[in-house]
Amino acid sequence: MDKVEISDEQIVPIDEIAEGLSGLKITFVNVFGLQHQDGSWTLIDTALPFSASRIKSWAEKTFKRPPNAIVLTHGHFDHAGAAKELSEQWDVPVYAHALEFPYLTGLKEYPAPDWKAGGGVMPLMSPTLPRGPIDLGSRLKELPGEGSELSLAEMPGWKLIHTPGHTPGHVSFFRESDRTLLVGDAFCTTKAESFFAANLFQPAELHGPPSYFTSDWGAAKVSVRKLAGLEPVTVAPGHGKPLAGAEVPQALHTLADNFERIATPKDVLEGTQAGETSL
Ligand SMILES: [Zn+2]
Ligand SMILES: [Zn+2]
C-alpha cells in the first residue's frame, strides 16, 4: 500500500476550541495545534499515515511556521501515522512517553485489535490499516515526568498527565489556567460506530476509550477518574467533537463512576476477553 486518497470532505478544521487551541479532523481522528504566547506552536498527534500533506497545509495556513515539536498522546497508527514524515520535513523532535517507545522504535507492535469488542466501522477499514511497527528513529524524544508545571519546555502552561489503559504510555495534557484538557484516546466524545459520521448535528456524548485497541480496562478507568478530578471545562479528544461548558466536569465524573457499564466491553467484564484476533 503506498497511497490512500483522503477526500476534501474528510478534512474538517476545528477552530478556536480554547485560547490558542485549534484542530483538524482527518477522516475519523483529530490532531491539535497549540499556539503559545510567543507565537510558537506544538502539534499534538499526527493522524493516519498519508495525512502529512493535509496537516502541513493546515499548519501553514493556521500558524504560518513549523511547530516547535510534535507530541504524541500515544503511538497508535491513527495518532502517530504521519509523525515520521512531518518530523523529517519540519526537522523537529517527536515526544512520547517512554512506555510507548517500543512501539515507536520498531521493536514491538501493539496487541492485535479486539474487533469483537464493538469495533463498529473499524473492521471494514482493516485492509488499509498499517501492520508494521512505526520507527521514528533518532527523532523520538522522551516526555518529561508527570505533573511538573512546565512539563515540556515546548508547551508552557500545560501539565502532562500519564493516563495509561488505552496503551501503557498514553498521556493527556491539562492547562490549569482555563481548565482545558487534551485527552487523546483516554476517552471519546463519540461512539466508535460514529467515527466517520459527519457529526455536525449529532450531539456529543462521552464514551470510553476506543474499545478494540484498549489493552487494560482497569487502568483506563483509573485514568478517566484522574482526568475527571481535574474538573476540565473544555475537552479536546482524539475522536469526536471537542466539548466545552460548565456541565463537562459532571459528565466526566458520570463516565468515571459508571465506567464498567458505559465503557468496558461485556466480554472483558465477564472475564472472557475475546482471544487474539490476528490482523
Ligand atoms: Zn488509540
Ligand atoms: Zn485513536
- CATH code for position 35: 3.60.15.10
* Cβ-Cβ contacts under 8 Å for 143 (sequence gap 6 or more): 71, 95, 96, 97, 98, 151, 152, 160, 171
Distance 181 CA to ligand 2 centre (A): 16
What's the CA-to-centroid distance between 48 and ligand 2, angstroms? 9
**What residues flank ion ligand 2 with Cβ within 5 A?**
78, 185, 238
In a domain, 275, yes or no: no
Is this model's pTM higher than 0.85 or not?
A: yes
Measured in residues, the chain has a length of 279
Predicted pLDDT at 249 = 92
Considering the domain boundaries, does residue 117 fall inside one?
Answer: yes
Segment 120-136 mean pLDDT: 62
- Per-residue confidence band for 191, with pLDDT thresholds at 50, 70 and 90: confident
| pLDDT score of 205 | 81
Q: In angstroms, what is the span from residue 76 Cα to ligand 2's centroid?
A: 7
CA angle 86, 126, 55 (to 5 degrees): 20
pLDDT digits (tens, 9 = 90+) for 73-111: 999 989 999 999 999 999 999 999 999 999 999 988 887
Does the residue 278 lie in any domain?
no
Q: How far is the CA of 156 from the centre of ligand 2 (A)?
A: 25
Ligand 2: centre distance to CA 38 (Å)? 30
Q: Which domain holds residue 14?
A: 8-266
Evaluate whether residue 121 is within a structural domain: yes
Residue 120 forms part of a structural domain: yes
User: 170 C-alpha vs ligand 2 centroid, how far in Å?
Assistant: 11
Q: How does DSSP classify residue 51?
A: -
Residue 176 near residue 159 (C-beta atoms within 8 A) = yes
Query: Minimal CA–CA distance to 182: which of 40, 14, 8?
Result: 14
Q: How far apart are alpha carbons 165 and 220 in whole angstroms?
A: 4
Q: Which ligand is nearest to the Cα of residue 167, counting in written order?
A: 1
- Number of separate domains in the chain: 1
Residue 273 lies in a domain: no
| Amino acid identity, position 278 | S
DSSP-assigned letter for residue 235: E
Determine how many CB atoms are found less than 10 A away from the CB of residue 147: 11
- Asked whether residue 144 is assigned to any structural domain, the reply reads yes
pLDDT band, very low/low/confident/very high, at 1 (cuts 50, 70, 90): very low
pLDDT at 122 over 60: no
